[in-house]
Structures are given as C-alpha cells and as structure tokens.
Amino acid sequence: MGENRKLLGKVAMVFGGSRGIGAAIVQRLAEDGADVALTYVSAANKAAEAVEAVEATGRRGLAIKADSADAAAIQEAVAQVVGRFGRFDIVVVNAGILRLGSVENVSLEDLDRMLDVNVRGVFVAIQAAARLLADGGRVITIGSNTAIRTGFPGSSVYSMTKAAVATMVKGIALDLAPRSITVNNVQPGPTETDMTVDHLEMVKSLVPLGRVGQPREIAGLVAYLASEESAYMTGASLTIDGGYVL
C-alpha cells in the first residue's frame, strides 16, 4: 500500500487506465487511498482487472467505456464518476495512440486520429473534468519526452501532439490557478508496455541509465503530482526517461 495513504478520501479518474502506464497509475492512486475510475476503449477484460486491483486495496473502482476521440463520451464519463462517487479531485489524462509514418506517407486518417485522441481528446477531457473538479484538485497529463527530442524518423506527428500537450498544460494551468487546481504534464521516455514492446530493444542503448522505464515508475511521479506535496507546482512538464533527452 502507499506509505501514508496520502489520497484517502479523494476520487481520481484516469482516462486510458486499463493497460500499461494507465493501469499502473490506477493501482498506485488506489494504494495511496483514492477511489479510482478509469476509461477504456476496447480492452474490457483489462479494465475489469484494473478495477479488481483497486478493490483489492479496499478502495472503490469503476470502469467506463469511452473513446477519447468522442467528446460526448468523455463528458458523460466524467458525469458518471461524480454521480457514482459524489465528488472528483484528481484527473489523469493518459489516453493516447502512436502511429508511425514519415511525412511523405503518413495517412490523413492517422494524422486526424492522433490529433483527435492525443490533442483534442486531452483538451476535452480536461475541460469536462475542470467543470466538476473540486477546488484544490489536480490535473495530470501523460505526454512524452518526444516533445523535447523526437529521435527517430516517422514520429513527427506523434511528437507534435505531445509538444501540443506540454504547451496546453501551461495555458490551462493559468486558467485554473484561481481555483488552486494544479495542472502538470509527465513526459515518460521508453517504457515497457504493450504499445512499445516492439521497439524497446532498439532504444535501450540510447538511454544513459541503460534500461527502459517501468510503468510503476511513471505512476510514482503521478502519485506525487496528485498529492498535497506538489501543491506549489503547476504548468510544469516533468521528464522521466532515464536521461534519454540529455
């Protein structure tokens, strides 16, 4: 369990919380004492496992099917969380997709889908959450260190979307500061998930620490940003990548 159950009495929502980094975040927030809702698109079994992990800590869990490219679904998901738990304190926007392609051949379909999920979906999720979020709440986005260093051909669109998130966070932080709601962005580097497994060996040698990250390590940084300890930090992008961008 989390050392001091720092989030006891809080309600958290994780967009894209059924697998990988998202599932690790869901579990860590529950271990720290929060009730946790999560959204998923297709992996209903994984979402159910994530809810079971929450309930194993003694907290309440909820899984909601919602595509982050669907604004109405996002708004309805937020309303469901407040309806079920009665309050809303922490939102983590982790939903994102990665489709590679060089500028000469990336399809407009892939371009539009990445913009819809990775940029528009992030903004809409924060907008929907902010309207119901308790004053003093926390907004945390999961970006990418590719916002700083792309590193490989074929990732221009993905990198662009993650740079947009880093900039978005600054502006939204100013909007929500009067309500003491902090807004911060976590930028992981190569991390072992099912989305990245195919190219982790290729990038491991480029990481000064000589290894890729684990989802629980990203979740640890999110847990700090969700806690009272981080109350004086807002509008920041924190890179956690083993030194890859150095």
Residue 133 within a domain: yes
Across 43-60, average pLDDT: 96
Q: pLDDT tens, 175-211? A: 999 999 999 999 999 999 876 666 777 788 889 999 9
Across 124-142, average pLDDT: 97
Q: Give pLDDT, residue 1.
A: 46
Question: Other C-beta atoms within 10 Å of 80: how many?
Answer: 16
Q: Which domain holds residue 137?
A: 11-240
Confidence of residue 151 (pLDDT cuts 50, 70, 90): confident
Q: Can you tell me the distance from the alpha carbon of 117 to that of 124, in angstroms, rounded to the nearest whole number?
A: 10
Residue 171 within a domain: yes
Residue 124 within a domain: yes
Q: Within the chain, where are the H helices? A: 20-31, 44-56, 71-85, 108-115, 121-132, 156-176, 200-204, 215-226
Residue 6 within a domain: no
Q: Give pLDDT, residue 3.
A: 53
Question: Other C-beta atoms within 10 Å of 228: how many?
Answer: 10
Pick 128 or 151 by higher pLDDT.
128
Q: Give pLDDT, residue 5.
A: 85
Q: Which of 146-155, 165-174, 206-215 is predicted most confidently? A: 165-174
Does the annotation mark 158 as catalytic?
Answer: yes
Across 54-72, average pLDDT: 95
Q: Give pLDDT, residue 205.
A: 87
Across 146-169, average pLDDT: 94
Residue 79 within a domain: yes
Question: Other C-beta atoms within 10 Å of 130: how many?
Answer: 19
Sheet holding 182-188, edge to edge: 61-65, 35-40, 11-15, 90-93, 138-142, 182-188, 237-240
Q: Give pLDDT, residue 2.
A: 45
Pick 221 or 153 by higher pLDDT.
221
Q: What percent of the chain has pLDDT over 70?
A: 97
Catalytic residue among 158, 224, 232, 244: 158
Residue 2 within a domain: no
Dihedral of the CA atoms 229, 233, 236, 240 (nearest 10)?
Answer: -20
- How many separate domains does the chain show? 1
- Contact status, residue 234 vs residue 178, Cβ threshold 8 Å: no
Mean pLDDT of the chain: 94
Q: In the predicted model, is pLDDT for residue 4 greater than 80?
A: no
Which is it for strands 237-240 and 182-188: parallel, antiparallel or unpaired?
A: parallel
SS3 93: strand
Residue 4 within a domain: no
Which is it for strands 237-240 and 35-40: parallel, antiparallel or unpaired?
A: unpaired
Predicted TM-score of the model (pTM): 0.95
Residue 1 within a domain: no
List the CATH number of the domain containing 146. 3.40.50.720
Q: Give pLDDT, residue 195.
A: 64
Burial zone of 92 (CB within 10 Å; 0-12 exposed, 13-18 middle, 19+ buried): buried
Place of tokens 């304190």: 89
Q: In the predicted model, is pLDDT for residue 86 greater than 90?
A: yes
